[in-house]
Amino acid sequence: MDEMWSTDIEIRHLAAFLAVCEHRSFGHAARALGYSQAAVSQQIAGLERTVGTALFDRPGGPRPVDLTDAGRQLLPYAESVFRQLNEAEEALAEVAAGARGRLAIGSFESVSVAILPRIVALLTAERPNLELALTEHDNAEVLLKMVDEGELDATFLPNGDVLAGFEQRRLMTDPFVAVVPADHAGDVVTMRELGDSPLVGHGDGDSCQARVNASILAHGRSPRYVFRSSDNAALQAMVRSGLGIAVMPLLAVETGDDGVAVLPIDPPIPPREVTLAWRSRATVPPALERFVELAEQVCDELTVAQAV
């Protein structure tokens, strides 16, 4: 027997074989498949030539056909082929519908805390077979590079800049607020106060911190930092201890903290625009389309909650 005979077997051969096995009749198998009896006979003859032996005993007349020993040996393998093909069809249909596969999303801290968990909860409830891979980084350029190189399907960004080569969806406006100790006097923080007070904040490489610093400098004041951290919770803890004031996007603030007050800034610092970006040249998988829809839904809900 040719060691490579399996490469000559076609799916139609095995389909005819299984139909004859099920119906024990070439005629009945032909009707089930929608073929002529001659076509089924040709498929079985071709299969037998390929494997080099008879697969059916043909008693003739109305009597049913029977499997030979070789046919009985082949049967579970043929069934396995079709079982795997059916499983593959179902899996690919789920991928096409966005219910299966892998979705890789980039994020940064405040989105990872305030937005992403809500989206993930909704998405995994809808599509439990979808694999989610989440990457957090405080540098938007790093996240965009990962999207451009195909490591991520999309990433959240902390600004609304239009980027060449990327599609973007604006999700929400996130205002900057002053986080002050709970006993702070007044219901607003001025730019002058920010310039005269000790501040806690992120490093100068942070895009939001750069926007804060530029706004303070534009009003003739120089920010004076007494503590720096990339951790939003650490900044809020320092405010709670009385070390200084933090200027942060509202999403980055734990507003239920009784040890601090969250106040508007006068005049306001231009808010950041939380966006979601993906490669414009890439085919958008259905799972990402649904992720974007849920991101919009969650961000709309958060925007309403912030306004209350």
> If you average pLDDT over residues 47-54, what whole number do you get?
89
Per-residue CA distances from 182 to 190, 201, 257 (Å)? 17, 18, 9
Q: Quick check: 61 pLDDT over 70? A: yes
> If you average pLDDT over residues 137-142, what whole number do you get?
88
Whether 58 and 66 have beta carbons less than 8 Å apart is answered as no
Q: Quick check: 236 pLDDT over 50? A: yes
**pLDDT number for residue 1:** 44
Percent of the chain with pLDDT over 90: 56
Q: Nearest CA to 90 among 125, 123, 129? A: 129
* Beta pairing class for 154-157 and 260-263: unpaired
Q: Quick check: 290 pLDDT over 70? A: yes
Alpha-carbon span 212 to 190, nearest angstrom:
13
Helix (H) or strand (E) holding 186: none
Q: Quick check: 115 pLDDT over 80? A: yes
**pLDDT number for residue 306:** 77
User: How would residue 99 be classed by pLDDT, with cut points 50, 70 and 90?
Assistant: low
Q: Quick check: 144 pLDDT over 50? A: yes
Q: Map out the domains of the chain with their CATH numbers.
A: 5-96 (1.10.10.10), 101-174+273-307 (3.40.190.10), 176-270 (3.40.190.10)
The pLDDT tens digits for 178-212 are 999 999 988 999 999 999 999 999 988 888 899 99
The pLDDT tens digits for 9-25 are 888 888 888 999 999 88
pTM of the model: 0.69
What is the separation of C-alpha 133 from the centre of its chain, rounded to a whole number of angstroms?
Answer: 7
